[in-house]
Amino acid sequence: MTNTQVTLVQIDNYGPWTVTPEPRREADLQTLQSRLFADISQFVGARGGYVFFTRFDNMIAVTNGLSMTDHELLQESVGNRYPVTLSLGVATGTDPVHALSDATERLQEAGSAQDEDRRECLEGRAIEEAHRTADDVQIAHFDVINATGNYTDELNAFDTFIEIEQGYAELMRHMRYAHDSLSFFVGGDNVIVVCPDLEEADYEEAIHHVENAVDVSLQVGVGRGETAHDAGFAAKHALETCRADGTRVELEW
Amino acid sequence: MTNTQVTLVQIDNYGPWTVTPEPRREADLQTLQSRLFADISQFVGARGGYVFFTRFDNMIAVTNGLSMTDHELLQESVGNRYPVTLSLGVATGTDPVHALSDATERLQEAGSAQDEDRRECLEGRAIEEAHRTADDVQIAHFDVINATGNYTDELNAFDTFIEIEQGYAELMRHMRYAHDSLSFFVGGDNVIVVCPDLEEADYEEAIHHVENAVDVSLQVGVGRGETAHDAGFAAKHALETCRADGTRVELEW
Amino acid sequence: MTNTQVTLVQIDNYGPWTVTPEPRREADLQTLQSRLFADISQFVGARGGYVFFTRFDNMIAVTNGLSMTDHELLQESVGNRYPVTLSLGVATGTDPVHALSDATERLQEAGSAQDEDRRECLEGRAIEEAHRTADDVQIAHFDVINATGNYTDELNAFDTFIEIEQGYAELMRHMRYAHDSLSFFVGGDNVIVVCPDLEEADYEEAIHHVENAVDVSLQVGVGRGETAHDAGFAAKHALETCRADGTRVELEW
Amino acid sequence: MTNTQVTLVQIDNYGPWTVTPEPRREADLQTLQSRLFADISQFVGARGGYVFFTRFDNMIAVTNGLSMTDHELLQESVGNRYPVTLSLGVATGTDPVHALSDATERLQEAGSAQDEDRRECLEGRAIEEAHRTADDVQIAHFDVINATGNYTDELNAFDTFIEIEQGYAELMRHMRYAHDSLSFFVGGDNVIVVCPDLEEADYEEAIHHVENAVDVSLQVGVGRGETAHDAGFAAKHALETCRADGTRVELEW
């Protein structure tokens, strides 16, 4: 049974900061946001976690393997090196949406994202070491079949982007409402989905749903593990099997 | 009349590189992609341009103000510091979609994005200095009205993300098909759109379309300039006027 | 009794890489070197270690708290994100110079720094968890008394640099030959020294030696701990006591 | 005749910031300093300049090719992305030491490096475009003959560092006092020196001086150009000639 630990990473008072005393150069905001995300990816990733950029001022991470002390250190390090600070809400649940809802509430109860006085909150609980299992995380790695041949080498780059985006949007909504899962576009034609205990039939259904709704053809590799990296790396290998064998769904167990 | 210079930035042979000889840690790919984007944002931004992360292996930039020599330097610098290389296609057009289509074709004609032998292409033409005008670029900066109050402080972070994403997707398709414009989510609740010569009525129509289609309320500031930064910075200031006055559309001219 | 774990971090075949097929832009080499160092600092620092840039292609780290598995992960992550790779030699000793000599020999035995075929060596041993103590690391943090008043605000910036550099060079040689310690300039007017079990008299002697030899006045805070960070942070606090009380040597125990 | 444009880059009030309200983690300070330097290297380097890390809170750059507007943009961009700000002093001179002295005085007159109220000064003058020539900058690139064979593969890494450092220190003082030149260690066994109009005999003398004083054997390639990059790149090529032909001094003109 999955037991996903989710962290909501929220930049404190970011909207106001970006326009005080005056609006800031957009290229600099993009650089700041991306590099902050990259740093969090290295910190979390080195402990077996995954973080997704989501909206950049609000990022969602799967942090099985990170303790509250680890979260505190991340906060301190960012506070030492950036002109902004982070608030972190941590929660767990048998399904990822439930865990994220709890993590979000932790921060909402502490104060508004644009509350001048709310800074560097650290709320919630991590899974105790003794309670962690090899089934805690289930990750599904989807990609578009032959995106390069069908889109990248054929359409203009924005129309390719629209196609990929439509596939992502349809999958994202379906997985959230039908399966309490969180889906994230991670570049190229790849979407990583954080799932509860789903089965092969659930993934086949998701693929058919997207194909019928927006005519985008996906394949998927699925893995399980104690951490997001363990599950996700197994999922990547399963996806290679799809590519090699021409199958649509491969579970790495 | 707008004369948008668009550059398509494409990482050479990226898909294969990410899985050769074995799949690579996802957290490292996220870090690499984000930091590469951040570097391009600094390079392009220091010359008045904007780059948007788009799919990360394919990025779209508005590069009025950058010469082909500038593009060559960007390519060389990235080649010196990253384990991947970039191909660049540059083109101009009276509307951004047209310019991007030409830029895309330049690269497609040179070879596939996953062609082992196609590396560091530099194709196309920049606008000659003598032909640049203060009307070359039109940028519209949209955001969701009171996203923090309506979504961030109320819903779980993924459901907020779904709402923002729906608004973006609807706006993106409308602006592309009705107005030959390119729309990019840039974080938070912000979307920057690169437009041809549009008027106040066009922006009002776009806002109503999105409101009716997906019930997301947008406001927009619009600017014009010789570069993306000139136009975009004016657009940011216009958006501040929307926030201050409660208006939905403000043109900074 | 100190038990310093030292890691020698060496970029594989770097000299040849910087000039193949042609010399590379110096500004890009500086950027690559600095960002690689910064990444290693974050990785090592998050586990309580310190890394010093030293010669950039060869960096010295105090890695009490990092296992060989941690070292392997660092190597893998760098290999995924940079155009160069790292070899790592790990050793321990009752004095830092001894540990570093062993760490260096581990790599030298595996092959030359410019051996085309030697890539990503990982040699040596980390201290087993059960054997770690609160006395393993001793760190001394020196700085120049009132550098800003005496130099920065008075001399041209290079002559100030020469003064600081002379103080560092004299301290570095003295601490290495008299006390088997490793000294590193860390910016500003600060030098961090990794020591074996030294006493107050040893630090007083070092300060007098430097004052007599090159007329540069130093003060020092010293700390001990299980990791470089524990020892170094205590040393920083001790240095604040020097600044507050006007003393020359303060031990934080 | 050389006409070196030098910029002194100084972080405002850095010392106090590093310990307020409490001392900050050393690994984070190292990361911040290195990444700030790397960013400045990219900004300056893309315009043909060179920046040297020097003391990290005070950095020296050769900025022929950068206008005061460029300097202002660098300042603004750093202010948008870091928790610290920069003050910049710009000056020119027929010898580099003279230019640096003027640049330093500009900042010293504006206020102390640790003056709470002195922030983001921009003082001085850049060379007007019309007055720039292909002789403005002379760069000498020294390295240690066969450092890998003589030191890196033979001694422990710190003793190799001591040897390299002694060679650098001797060269640095000699070049500053005998030839009004500024010398910077740039990693590995490389030292880049910014010179006025020196001749072959001056470089031969410098090499003999260092050999006699500290028994470190150097070779040097020298170049001239309109910018630091033009001169420095020519110097790198000249150094390759030394390596290929076994000569000690090569001038690329």
Chain B residues with CB under 8 Å of D45 CB are 77
Check whether residue B141 and residue B124 sit in a common domain. Answer: no
Which pLDDT band, with edges at 50, 70 and 90, does B148 fall under? confident
Residue B211 tokens read as 């409101």
Strand pairing of C249-251 and C218-225? parallel
Determine the pLDDT at residue A149.
86
Is residue B129 over pLDDT 90?
A: yes
Check whether residue B247 and residue B190 sit in a common domain. Answer: yes
Check whether residue B147 and residue B235 sit in a common domain. Answer: yes
Which pLDDT band, with edges at 50, 70 and 90, does B112 fall under? confident
Chain A residues with CB under 8 Å of C42 CB are 39, 42-43, 77
Q: 10 Å Cβ neighbour count for A238? A: 23
Instruction: Judge: B55–A164 Cβ closer than 8 Å, yes or no.
Output: yes
Contacts of D248 (CB under 8 A, 6+ apart): D204, D207, D218, D219, D220, D242
Å between B60 CA and nearest CA of chain A: 8
Check whether residue C57 and residue C144 sit in a common domain. Answer: no
Query: Does D26 contact A at CB distance below 8 Å?
Result: no
Which pLDDT band, with edges at 50, 70 and 90, does D91 fall under? very high
Instruction: Judge: B25–C82 Cβ closer than 8 Å, yes or no.
Output: no
Determine the pLDDT at residue A210.
97
Mean pLDDT, to the nearest integer, of D55-84? 98
Instruction: Judge: B25–A233 Cβ closer than 8 Å, yes or no.
Output: yes
Is residue B142 over pLDDT 90?
A: yes
Determine the pLDDT at residue B104.
96
Determine the pLDDT at residue A64.
98
All chains having 3 or more CB pairs closer than 8 angstroms to chain A = B, C, D
Check whether residue B201 and residue B220 sit in a common domain. Answer: yes
Determine the pLDDT at residue D168.
96
Chain A residues with CB under 8 Å of D28 CB are 76-77, 80-81
Instruction: Judge: B42–D77 Cβ closer than 8 Å, yes or no.
Output: yes
Check whether residue B72 and residue B148 sit in a common domain. Answer: no
ipTM above 0.90 for this complex: yes
From the candidates A7, A17, A55, which should be mutated to test the interface with B, based on the most B CB atoms within 10 A? A55
DSSP letter string, chain C:
---EEEEEEEETTHHHHHTSSSPPPHHHHHHHHHHHHHHHHHHHHTTT-EEE-TTSSEEEEE-TT--HHHHHHHHHHHHHHSSS-EEEEEEEESSHHHHHHHHHHHHHHH--TT-TT--S-EEE-PPPGGG--TTSEEEEEEEETTHIIIIITTS-HHHHHHHHHHHHHHHHHHHHHHH--EEEEEETTEEEEEESS--HHHHHHHHHHHHHHH---EEEEEEEESSHHHHHHHHHHHHHHHHHHT-SEEE--
Mean pLDDT, to the nearest integer, of D83-91? 98
Check whether residue A118 and residue A215 sit in a common domain. Answer: no
Q: Residues 132 to 151 of B: which have CB under 8 A from any A CB?
A: 148
Which pLDDT band, with edges at 50, 70 and 90, does D224 fall under? very high
Which regions of chain A are under pLDDT 50?
none
Query: Does B38 contact A at CB distance below 8 Å?
Result: yes
What are the φ/ψ torsions at residue B169 (nearest 5 degrees)? -60, -45
Q: 10 Å Cβ neighbour count for D202? A: 19
Looking at the partner chain, which of B49, B55, B156 has a beta carbon nearest the beta carbon of A188? B55
Domain range for A241: 137-251
Determine the pLDDT at residue D152.
81
What does the alpha-carbon distance between residue A9 and residue D8 come to, in Å, rounded to a whole number? 38
Which pLDDT band, with edges at 50, 70 and 90, does D112 fall under? confident
Is residue D84 over pLDDT 90?
A: yes
Residue C59 tokens read as 């960096």
Determine the pLDDT at residue D117.
84
Q: Report the CATH number that the domain containing residue C143 is assigned in CATH.
A: 3.30.70.270
Mean pLDDT, to the nearest integer, of B208-218? 97
Whole-number average pLDDT of chain C: 96
Query: Does D204 contact C at CB distance below 8 Å?
Result: no
Check whether residue A157 and residue A232 sit in a common domain. Answer: yes
From the candidates A26, A97, A98, which should be mutated to test the interface with B, based on the most B CB atoms within 10 A? A26
Chain D residues with CB under 8 Å of A28 CB are 76-77, 80-81
Mean pLDDT, to the nearest integer, of C71-98? 97
Å between C41 CA and nearest CA of chain D: 5
* Residue pLDDT, tens place only, C5-61: 999 999 999 999 999 999 999 999 999 999 999 999 999 999 999 999 999 999 999
Is residue D146 over pLDDT 90?
A: no
Chain B residues with CB under 8 Å of A123 CB are none
Query: Does B244 contact A at CB distance below 8 Å?
Result: no
Cα C79 to Cα B30, C63, C72, C251: the distances in Å are 14, 20, 11, 41
Model pTM above 0.95:
yes
Q: Report the CATH number that the domain containing residue C9 is assigned in CATH.
A: 3.30.70.1230
Question: Which of these three, B111, B131, B151, is where a domain ends?
Answer: B131
Angle between helices C96-110 and D157-179 (to 10 degrees): 100
Cα C239 to Cα A33, C2, C203, C234: the distances in Å are 35, 21, 13, 9
User: Hey, CA dihedral for A220, A225, A231, A233, is it positive or negative?
Assistant: negative
Question: Which of these three, D131, D165, D198, is where a domain ends?
Answer: D131
Determine the pLDDT at residue B145.
94
Determine the pLDDT at residue C142.
98
From the candidates A82, A112, A152, which should be mutated to test the interface with B, based on the most B CB atoms within 10 A? A152
Which pLDDT band, with edges at 50, 70 and 90, does B171 fall under? very high
All chains having 3 or more CB pairs closer than 8 angstroms to chain C = A, B, D
Determine the pLDDT at residue A18.
96
Determine the pLDDT at residue D154.
87
Determine the pLDDT at residue A116.
80
Check whether residue B210 and residue B106 sit in a common domain. Answer: no
Is residue B150 over pLDDT 90?
A: no
* Residue pLDDT, tens place only, B179-198: 999 999 999 999 999 999 99
Check whether residue D21 and residue D114 sit in a common domain. Answer: yes
Check whether residue C151 and residue C114 sit in a common domain. Answer: no
Is residue D13 over pLDDT 90?
A: yes
Is residue B116 over pLDDT 90?
A: no
* Residue pLDDT, tens place only, B15-71: 999 999 999 999 999 999 999 999 999 999 999 999 999 999 999 999 999 999 999
Chain C residues with CB under 8 Å of A45 CB are 77
Looking at the partner chain, which of C43, C46, C73 has a beta carbon nearest the beta carbon of A73? C46
Angle between helices A157-179 and B157-179 (to 10 degrees): 150
Number of compact structural domains in chain A: 2
Mean pLDDT, to the nearest integer, of B139-145? 97
CB-CB contact of A242 with A250 (8 Å) = yes
Question: Which of these three, D131, D153, D177, is where a domain ends?
Answer: D131
What does the alpha-carbon distance between residue C67 and residue C76 come to, in Å, rounded to a whole number? 14
Query: Does A82 contact D at CB distance below 8 Å?
Result: yes
Is residue C124 over pLDDT 90?
A: yes
Å between B31 CA and nearest CA of chain A: 4
From the candidates D81, D85, D86, which should be mutated to test the interface with A, based on the most A CB atoms within 10 A? D81
* Residue pLDDT, tens place only, C183-223: 999 999 999 999 999 999 999 999 999 999 999 999 999 99
Determine the pLDDT at residue C154.
87
Mean pLDDT, to the nearest integer, of C243-253? 96
Check whether residue D114 and residue D143 sit in a common domain. Answer: no
Which pLDDT band, with edges at 50, 70 and 90, does B244 fall under? very high
How far is the first Cα of chain A from the last one, in angstroms, to the nearest whole number?
14
